[in-house]
Amino acid sequence: MRDASLSRALLYAVAFLLAFLYLIPLAVVLLNSLRTAEEIVQTSMIGWPRVWAFQNYTAAWADFCIAQTCSGIRPYMLNSALVTLPATLLSTLLGAVAGYAISLWRFKGDTWIFALVTLGVFLPEQMRLIPWTIVLRDVGLTNTLAGLVMIHTVQGLSFTTLFCRNYYIAIPADLMKAAKIDGAGFFRIFYRIVLPLSPPILIVTVIWQFTGIWNEFLYGVTFTTGTQQPVTAALIALSASVADVPQHGVQSAAVVIAALPTLLVYLFGGRYFVRGLTAGAVK
Amino acid sequence: MSRITRRTLLAATGAAAITPIAHAQAVKPRLTAISQWSAGSDGAAITALGKKFEEKGGTWQHSPVPGFTTEMMNKLRAQIMAGDPPACSQLKGPEITAWSKIAPTLNLDAIVAAAGYEKVVAPDLARLHKPGGKWAALPLQIYSTNMLFLSKRAMDKAKADKIPVTWADFNALAEKMKAGGVTYPIANGGTRPDDGQKFEAALAGISPAAYRAACMNLDEKALKGPEMKAAFAQVRKIADWMDPNTAAQHYSTFLSRFVAGDMGIMIQGGWAQGVLLNAGFKLDDFIIAPGPSDNGKPVFLLNADAFIFWQRKEADLQAGQKLMAELVMDPAIQTMYSQITGSIPVRTDVDLSGPGWSDGQRRTASALKEAVAANQAVLSLAHNMAQENGMTAAMIDVITEYVKNRSITPDQAVTRLAEAVEGAR
Amino acid sequence: MSHAAPSPARPLFAGLKRLPEFLVIWVPLLLSAGHVVVFTAWTTWISFTPSTLVPVDGWVGWRNYTNVLATRNWKIAFDNLLIFGAGFVILTALVGLLLAIIIDQRIRGENVLRSIFLYPMAVSFVVTGTVWSWLLNPGMGIQKLVNDWGWTSFRFDWLIDRDMAIWTIVIAGIWQSSGFAMALFLAGLRSVEADLIKAAQIDGAGPVRIYTRVILPTLWPIVIAVMVILLQFAIKTFDLVRALTGGGPGLATQLPALVVYDFMFQRGHLGRGSAAAVLMLLTLLGVLLPYGAWKYYQRRRDARA
């Protein structure tokens, strides 16, 4: 059994080496979030804090001025939440129903419409920027968070429908048949049979949507104004222009704070994420 | 003579055009503004301007759009397409003319005439803000993009105390620094404007006339002229003295090495002074001088920030626009603004002898005056003052590839640049 | 697949009673598919107009296309997409598979390790690009660190090397996305029938053999799923490059999404930018259509079998 324990040791060595490598970028940001801007400019972007600048966090959270508003990134976090939560829930729910309809209720044209919806996954957002501008103008949602929610819901449907359809297709046809013989309709089957089976895939789509929308910048900065902007815009605002010393310390602290929601989602959702995928999301 | 007549006429029509604004005085002025100035000294300066606006009884609604200039323009485009342009927005250079074609701008001629502003603005600069001959935008502050920042410690290592005047002086100083143990005689960042600044400083310093013809007027002959080749050759020298490891980093990342004398000379805009001071370095860590000029007279590469004013129907916004325009042209406001950002005022009649100004700013201002007198004040290519963005980007493509690739010869670069200009026309 | 179709295609709309169901299915689907179709068609139309700062009507034929195709930016971006697309997709999948196999060995600290490999997915591309621009910078990152430790001839300067710079984006991309690939593969590994492995073990197969002969072959569907998801990342890669290399050194790391954005918004040429976007989508279709055809063929075969 010497061989086995040797290969076991090797396995752990590789695992921890890789874990170490994956953690380096996080470590760099965490260290920078505790260094002053002057120290970073005067030494290097990578380094151990000489003085622990914990005040970076209070500055980033509550004090830093973006334009005339000296409230740190706090209000912007709220904006992001106001966009991300509804858009995530809406796109997930609608995507679940759509995926359910496509996979279990086959109707005329379902293949085509599914192909088109899936194609949406590949459209770069740069290309969609001006069309969305026109749409927002025409529906009267320019410069509103509701406009952003609409955009992210419609775009998110591509992913959520794809994920859910691939998941639901594994639900046995017999189950459906039995339910229909019992006289259950579209919604009843969804509530009684499909939804109870869904948590794994819903966790996957929620995590996916939440992360994607939370981290989105281009639409957030173009389609909102002033103190309505999402936190990604505030982060960029902290990285001052060409004419200024970059505030790397406060900026790193802000990055850490702004990334907390998505990090926590992965930290606590990660286990279910894998479990959800295991349960069939990738068939 | 005819020019004066025309201007008077314009002023008259302008006055007629803004009569409604005069009537609107009764309402509380309000201003919606878009800029990319969100933080740092830029943010502080525009905030101070906003305070002044409020002191005069106005409502100040500034929405900074963080990020690159492109993001700010995306925002502006979205607002214009939605039929809701801001009362005024940050815009600069030839883009003012380009954008003024997609939405109606305010005619500022009467307000400008009333303030006597045109007399105190460099002519090349004034032209940029008058699409179709009418003032639609107002410049706010000026930077020179080709200032030299000499590291005191690097100068000590080189045992040099003379400020270089010509490119030959400059090259000699760099050689001396190299010999004296300065690892990289040129301090630099690796961004596209950074590379562009090296080229424009070289060409304008070698021949302002050639720069004007090639970079500002895109004259085909000038683009292939000997000065272009000489400029690229000078850029190669500069590139060879730079630290190749900077990659795409911002120049400010390397300030410590510059001050320590590990890097010797920065070719940067005047804004670098404020950056150095804000980073905790001292004024006697470095020397500021105008960029090299082979004919000995200062060459000034102009970079000016400006506000463009969009037509609005609301009485309060119109009153706000008038107030804003008056503020922007006010020497006291320009003084306040430049003292925060480290730029110099657009007005050539502002006295910079007071204690709020630095030597660097005084030197820049006098360089501008002399350069204007010698017709050597030209518009910066790297900072989107000489050409519209599409043309600028096509030209910088060639320049940045040249800087980063030693195997491209100056001759090839000249050919490529001329081709790029043709392709982007 | 066909087992999921309980009955032949039914009429879409059978009476008012089914109106809610009809709405709930079709409104989201039509919005989603509709925006894809309309936006793509609109972009295609704009690519034939003389639009600059804002969309305008007009017709310039293929001029925007010839103009974009003639730029070095597009040529470089296109070549890079092939290198980056292939490099990123394949290597990320491989690294993800490696991580999944490691985690699958019932090692201690599985939860912690999985979180560590997965957390980069939570980080925005801008942050990833910025941090890696420090780490990969030879003047202050990994190279400097190793040099300072005493190995002074150590070089890791891909970031400033025109030929290798595109691989720095691959590195950052792997760091960010391999956790996701890992999760998918892990899901696959865990759903392999235990009996299958038992049988192989009884036959005397070693662990390596079990992986290569028994487990990995069952992963094919997952490999495809991983590839598709990574491919859409590769094609959309934008923020990452902008923060990591700025498209440089020179133009060395241009990618199509960058060129599209650059022409549309930085250079004020909506027409040319749209032409670049259409070219990019055509390239994508060149990959997706054969895949779709293959799936279709497979389905037909399965249906017959």
Note the pLDDT tens digit of each residue in A75-113: 999 999 999 999 999 999 999 999 999 888 877 888 889
DSSP category for residue A66:
B
Q: What is the pLDDT of residue C198?
A: 84
Highest mean pLDDT among A195-199, B407-411, C245-249: B407-411
pLDDT of residue A68: 67
CB-CB under 8 Å, A37 with B39: no
- CB within 8 Å of C210: residues ≥ 6 apart: C197, C200, C201
pLDDT at residue B325, rounded to an integer: 97
Q: Residues of C with CB below 8 A from B68's CB?
A: 266
Domains (range + CATH), chain B: 2-141+304-355 (3.40.190.10), 147-301+360-424 (3.40.190.10)
* Residue scoring higher pLDDT (B37 or B175): B175
Nearest residue on chain C to A126, judged by CA atoms?
Answer: C261
Burial of B33 (0-12, 13-18, 19+ CB in 10 A): buried
Q: Quick one: pLDDT at residue B283?
A: 86
A154 neighbourhood in chain C, CB within 8 Å: 31-32, 35
Percentage of chain A surpassing pLDDT 90?
Answer: 44
ipTM of the complex as predicted: 0.88
- Contacts of residues A138-141 at CB distance under 8 Å and 24 or more positions apart, as own/partner, are none
> What are the pLDDT digits (tens) for B348-376?
899 999 998 988 889 899 999 999 999 99
* Residues C82-133: tens digit of each pLDDT: 999 999 999 999 999 999 999 988 888 888 999 999 999 999 998 999 899 9
When CB atoms are compared, the residue of A66, A142, A223 closest to B38 is: A66
Token pair for A69: 């508003």
Contacts of A262 (CB under 8 A, 6+ apart): A210, A211, A214, A215, C122, C123
Type of residue found at B185: P
Residue B4 is predicted with a pLDDT of 38
CB contact under 8 A, B393 and C266: yes
Which of the other chains make 3 or more beta carbon contacts under 8 angstroms with chain B?
A, C
A-chain CB neighbours of C191 within 8 Å are: 278, 280
Query: What is the C-alpha separation between C4 and C11, in angstroms, rounded?
Result: 17
What average pLDDT does the segment A48-70 reach?
85
Q: Which of C267, C269, C270 to mutate to test the interface with B (most CBs of B within 10 A)?
A: C267
The Cα C123–Cα A26 span in angstroms is: 10
- Residue keyed to tokens 């702004």: A258
The yes-or-no verdict on residue A138 having pLDDT over 90 is: yes
pLDDT higher than threshold 80 for residue B183? yes
Nearest chain C CA: its distance from A226 CA (Å): 21
pLDDT category at B20 given cuts 50, 70, 90 is: very low
Between B62, B81, B271, which is nearest A242 by CB? B271
- B39/A234 Cβ within 8 A: no
- Separation between Cα atoms, residue A127 and residue A14, nearest integer Å: 42
| Most confident listed range (A61-65, B189-193, B205-209, C140-144) | B205-209
| Contact between B188 and B246 (Cβ < 8 Å) | yes
Residue with tokens 């190749």: B244
Name which of B126-130, B279-283, B377-381 the model is least confident about. B279-283
Q: Which residues contact A99 (CB under 8 A, 6 or more apart)?
A: A160, A161, A162, A163, A164, A165, A166, A167, A168
pLDDT of residue C8: 44
CA atoms of C215 and C103, how far apart (whole Å): 15
Omega of the bond leading into C207 within 30 degrees of 0 (cis): no
The fraction of chain A above a pLDDT of 70, given in percent, is: 93
pLDDT the model gives residue C3: 43
Question: Among A97, A157, A273, whose Cβ lies nearest the Cβ of C25?
Answer: A97
State the DSSP code for A223: S
Whether A242 has its CB under 8 Å from any CB of chain B: the answer is yes
For residues C40-47, give the mean pLDDT: 96
Task: Provide the pLDDT for residue C15.
Answer: 60
The tokens describing B1, both together, are: 């003579």
| Residues of A whose CB is below 8 A from C221 | 282-283
**Pairwise pLDDT comparison (C81 vs C220), residue with the higher score:** C81
Q: For residue B78, which of C55, A185, C122 has the smallest C-alpha distance?
A: C55
Averaged over A161-171, what is the pLDDT? 86
Q: Is C18 on the interface with A (CB under 8 A)?
A: yes
Encode pLDDT of B232-258 as tens digits: 999 999 999 999 988 888 888 888 899
pLDDT tens digits for range A232-281: 888 887 765 545 666 788 889 999 999 999 999 988 887 777 776 666 54
Read off the pLDDT of each residue in C164-177 and give the average, rounded to a whole number. Answer: 96
Predicted local confidence at residue B2, as pLDDT: 37
> Locate tokens 């110099």: which residue?
B344
Across the interface, whether the CB atoms of C124 and A283 are under 8 A apart is answered no
Identify the sign of the CA torsion B195, B196, B199, B204.
Answer: negative
Local structure of residue A277 (DSSP, 8 states): I
- Confidence band, pLDDT 50/70/90 cuts, at residue B274: confident
| CB-based contact B147:B364 (threshold 8 Å) | yes
Top mean pLDDT of A124-128, B120-124, B338-342, B395-399 is at B395-399
Residue B316: its H or E element: helix B315-329
CA distances from B37 to A240, A258, B42, B105, C154 (A): 8, 22, 5, 22, 42
Class of domain A74-281: mainly alpha
- First-to-last C-alpha distance (Å) of chain C: 12
Contacts with B266 (C-beta within 8 Å, 6 or more apart), sequence order: B148, B149, B151, B186, B187, B188, B251, B258, B272
Tens of pLDDT, residue by residue over C243-280, are 899 898 999 999 999 999 999 999 999 999 999 999 99
Q: A258 is written with which tokens?
A: 């702004």
Fold for C78-253, please state it.
MetI-like fold (1.10.3720)
Helix axes B389-404, C72-103, angle to 10 degrees: 70
pLDDT (mean) for B97-103 = 95
Please report the sign of the dihedral spanned by the C-alpha atoms of residue C72, residue C74, residue C78, residue C80: positive
String of DSSP letters for B277-313: HHTT--GGGEEEEPPP-TTSS--EEEEEEEEEEB---
Please tell me which of the candidates C11, C187, C221 has its beta carbon nearest to residue A277. Answer: C187
- The predicted model gives A160-166 an average pLDDT of 89
**If you average pLDDT over every residue of chain A, what do you get?**
87
- Cα-Cα-Cα-Cα torsion B263, B265, B271, B277, nearest 10 degrees, comes to 50
pLDDT for residue B384 is more than 90: yes
Determine whether the interchain pair A37/B71 forms a contact, defined as Cβ–Cβ distance below 8 Å.
no
C-alpha–C-alpha distance, residues A110 and A102, integer Å: 6
What's the per-residue H, E or C state across chain C?
A: CHHHCCCCCECCCCCHHHHHHHHHHHHHHHHHHHHHHHHHHHHHHHCCCCCCCCCCCCCCCCHHHHHHHHCHHHHHHHHHHHHHHHHHHHHHHHHHHHHHHHHCCCCCCHHHHHHHHHHHHHCCHHHHHHHHHHHCCCCCCHHHHHHHCCCCCCCCCHHHCCCCHHHHHHHHHHHHHHHHHHHHHHHHHHCCCHHHHHHHHHCCCCHHHHHHHHHHHHCHHHHHHHHHHHHHHHHHCCHHHHHHCCCCCCCCCCCHHHHHHHHHHHCCCHHHHHHHHHHHHHHHHHHHHHHHHHHHHHHHHHHHC
Residue A67: band (very low, low, confident or very high) from pLDDT cuts 50, 70, 90: low
Please report which helix (H) or strand (E) contains residue A133, including its range.
helix A125-139
**Measured distance CA(B193)–CA(B201) in Å, rounded:** 12
pLDDT at site B88: 96
Lowest-pLDDT range of B35-39, B378-382, C37-41: B35-39
Q: B404, C250: Cβ pair inside 8 Å?
A: yes
Q: Are C28 and A94 in contact (CB under 8 A)?
A: yes
B59 in reach of chain A (CB within 8 A): no
> Is pLDDT above 70 for C6?
no
- The fraction of chain B above a pLDDT of 90, given in percent, is 74
Distance from CA of A156 to the nearest CA of C (A): 8
Sequence ranges of the domains in chain A: 74-281
Beta strands B263-268 and B147-151, pairing class: antiparallel
CA–CA distance, B117 with B120 (Å, rounded to integer): 6
C16-34 confidence digits (pLDDT tens): 677 888 888 889 999 999 9
Residue type present at position A31? L
Return the pLDDT at B211: 97
Write the Ramachandran bin of C58: left for phi over 0, alpha for psi from -120 to 50, otherwise beta. left
Residue C81 in this model has a pLDDT that exceeds 70: yes
What is the mean pLDDT of the segment spanning A29-56?
87
B92 in A contact zone (CB under 8 Å): no
Phi/psi of residue A25, each to 5°?
-60, -40
Residue of B268, B279, B235, B294 lying closest to B364 (CA atoms): B268
Residues whose CB is less than 8 angstroms from the CB of residue C105 and which lie 6 or more positions away in sequence, other chains included = A11
Average pLDDT over every residue of C271-290 = 91
Quick one: tokens of C154?
């150590």
